[in-house]
A and B are shown apart, each in its own frame.
Chain A
Amino acid sequence: NAGVTQTPKFRVLKTGQSMTLLCAQDMNHEYMYWYRQDPGMGLRLIHYSVGEGTTAKGEVPDGYNVSRLKKQNFLLGLESAAPSQTSVYFCASSSLRQGTNSPLHFGNGTRLTVT
């Protein structure tokens, strides 16, 4: 019963380096989301996807790219990391459209530090 799995759990990058965070879900969910969490700011939506092959921008998309080539995977990329991207990143998935009884299932997070 894996649910939503994020890899890696921790990462330290130097300014300008790139990396990809992987989110995988085994619940056959259509919707997937990437959030970042900073102290006092709550969860802020970076990008999301409403199905395989689709992506859309959230509140804070600058500096990030995403891809959803397979329904179960949602990748978050940082092309040129900046210290402002130091944060905890959460992936989440849900099954149904808005206005329905469909909660978000979260992964355990990735703690990223950019020096």
Chain B
Amino acid sequence: QQPVQSPQAVILREGEDAVINCSSSKALYSVHWYRQKHGEAPVFLMILLKGGEQKGHEKISASFNEKKQQSSLYLTASQLSYSGTYFCGTEEDNDMRFGAGTRLTVKP
């Protein structure tokens, strides 16, 4: 079953913040976050494992609440280069399922 992402799309001005949410109806082993630019392959951002840890990548961080089966991606002081579609991925058994994506547009 695919995880559910929200919102579907976000438009920001440079320097603004955004939060992208990912939730699942199943217990999660881990949550992955990827970013995809138009016409390119998805690129790995970070993995969050059980334990409610937070991680950071540049000015992008994420949290994982395994009890609520949710993860959130935080983008602070957004830059033009952050534009793209963000996907969360959740592990089920031996496979990896992805959400439908959140399209982020950062404008000057």
| Interface set of A (CB-CB < 8 Å, partner B) | 31, 33, 35, 40-45, 48, 50, 56, 58-59, 90, 92, 94, 97-109
Nearest residue (CB) in A for B99 is: A42
> Which secondary structure dominates chain B's binding surface?
strand
> Which of B34, B41, B44 interacts with A108 by CB under 8 Å?
B41
Tell whether A33 pairs with B96 under 8 Å between CB atoms, given A90-B41, A99-B30: yes
Instruction: Identify the 7 closest CB pairs spanning chains A and B, nearest first.
Output: A99-B29, A103-B44, A42-B100, A106-B41, A43-B98, A98-B91, A98-B29
Q: Known: A44-B2, A90-B41, A101-B49. Is A59-B97 also a contact (CB below 8 A)? A: yes
What residues on B are CB-neighbors of A107 within 8 Å? 41
**Given A33-B95, A45-B95, A103-B32, A90 contacting B50 (CB threshold 8 A):** no
A100 contacts across to B, CB distance below 8 A? 30, 49
Known A-B contacts A42-B87, A98-B94, A99-B50; the reply to A104 vs B32 at CB < 8 A is yes
Q: Tell me which of B41, B47, B93 contacts A103 (CB under 8 A).
A: B47
Distance in angstroms from A94 CB to nearest chain B CB is 8
Interface size on B, residues (CB 8 A): 26
List B contacts of A48 (CB < 8 A). 94-96
Chain A residues contacting B96 (CB-CB under 8 Å) are 33, 45, 48, 92, 94, 104
What distance in Å separates the Cβ of A71 from its nearest Cβ neighbour in chain B?
16
Bound form: Cα–Cα A107–B43 in Å:
10
For the complex, give the distance between the alpha carbons of A33 and B29 in Å.
18
CB of A38, distance to nearest CB on chain B (Å) = 10
**Are the CB atoms of B2 and A42 closer together than 8 Å?**
yes
Instruction: List, in ascending order, chain B residues with CB within 8 A of A92's CB.
Output: 96
Q: Which A residues touch B42, using CB under 8 A?
A: 43, 90, 104, 106
How does the 8 Å CB contact mask read for B81-108 relative to A, with 1 for contact and 0 for none?
A: 0000001010101111111110000000
Known: A43-B87, A45-B98, A102-B47. 4 other contacts (CB 8 A): A40-B100, A43-B42, A100-B30, A104-B89
